[in-house]
Amino acid sequence: MKMKNDLKNIECFLLDMDGTIYLDDNVIDGTLEFLETLKKQGKRAFYITNNSSRTAEEYVKKLAKMNIQASTDDFFTSADALVYFLNKMNAGKKAFILGTPAYEKFMENKGFTLVKEYTEVPEERPDTVILAFDTTLTYEKLRIACDYIKEGVRYVATHPDMVCPAANGKTIPDAGSFMLLIEGATGKRPELIAGKPDPCMVNMICELTNCPKEKAAVIGDRLHTDILSGINAGVNTICVLTGETTEETLLTSPVKPDYVLNSIKDLAEIIK
């Protein structure tokens, strides 16, 4: 059994955000102390999110409003992880994308050429079909994507979330919902899903920072995304009870974190 004092040996903390370091627009007690302690000890904090529709610059501004100082280099999204692993796979630079205009621009800035129509001309066809969060989704885009996927074009996705939070407590369909639709139409699932609970973001950060996995830890409030991504990547996992997960949930869930803390404030006290 792992001892809480072992957390003093962690050098790289991978943090979920909403429910872990803040709730809505309110910073959770202990967050600032935790981050300040890491800074004094020369350790790193990185922020990981499945949200592929918001840029690192937007997150920096959001955290700054809560007096959390961060740079764009501290953020890794499922979109970043997808590009990282597509490049590692030498998957090609032409893509048909189910995503927002902002996501399309992001991919163009990463060196990808966007294929907008269906074509049978070999040199004009996409190397990859990418499913992301897409509020501009049309039937035509879905039809073209399914045609390419059925014909054997590589199919990947940024994240598997079924719904995305919206105003007034409502939700809207997210990439995971359309993943099921595409599977029903083509019989195929993505070859790669970059977002949590898949280990892509965690693996990417460990590789880019040369951090040994025994020195890394994922901190989050959701067992089936945050914690499971850490388990799948083989790093330490810390579940905080300031968001989705409760003590009752822990008893019945098959996903078991290495450590359970009431909040990040407890972690700040442990690593001092």
The answer on 213 and 176 residing in a single domain is no
| For range 86-96, the mean pLDDT | 96
Structural domains of the chain, count:
2
The answer on 265 and 242 residing in a single domain is yes
Convert the pLDDT of each residue in 228-242 to its tens digit.
999 999 999 999 999
**What does the pLDDT read at residue 165?**
75
Average pLDDT for the chain: 95
Here the tokens at position 121 are 């001309």
Residue 61 lies in a domain: no
Q: What backbone torsions phi and psi does residue 22 show, to the nearest 5 degrees?
A: -150, 160
| For range 19-38, the mean pLDDT | 94
Here the tokens at position 34 are 């935790």
The answer on 86 and 189 residing in a single domain is yes
Convert the pLDDT of each residue in 134-177 to its tens digit.
999 999 999 999 999 999 999 999 999 999 877 787 889 999 99
Convert the pLDDT of each residue in 171-206 to its tens digit.
899 999 999 999 999 999 999 999 999 999 999 999
| Distance, CA of 252 to CA of 180 (rounded, Å) | 26
Token look-up 């885009």 returns 141
**What does the pLDDT read at residue 25?**
84
| Distance, CA of 69 to CA of 82 (rounded, Å) | 26
Residue 9 lies in a domain: yes
Q: Which residues contact 47 (CB under 8 A, 6 or more apart)?
A: 14, 15, 16, 17, 59, 63, 70, 74, 75, 76
| For range 15-38, the mean pLDDT | 94
Determine if the pTM surpasses 0.75: yes
Residue 73 lies in a domain: no
Residue 72 lies in a domain: no
Q: Residue 180 CA to chain centroid, in angstroms?
A: 19
The answer on 179 and 110 residing in a single domain is yes
**What does the pLDDT read at residue 1?**
58
| Distance, CA of 247 to CA of 140 (rounded, Å) | 46
Is the pLDDT reported for residue 56 higher than 70?
yes
Helix (H, G, I), strand (E, B) or coil at 166: coil
The answer on 200 and 152 residing in a single domain is no
pLDDT above 70 covers what percent of the chain? 100
Q: Give the residue numbers spanning the domain of 212.
A: 4-50+196-270
**What does the pLDDT read at residue 38?**
97
Furthest-apart CA pair in the chain: how many Å? 61
The answer on 150 and 92 residing in a single domain is yes
CATH of the domain at 22: 3.40.50.1000
The answer on 160 and 183 residing in a single domain is yes
- Asked if residue 197 has a cis previous peptide bond (ω within 30° of 0), the answer is yes
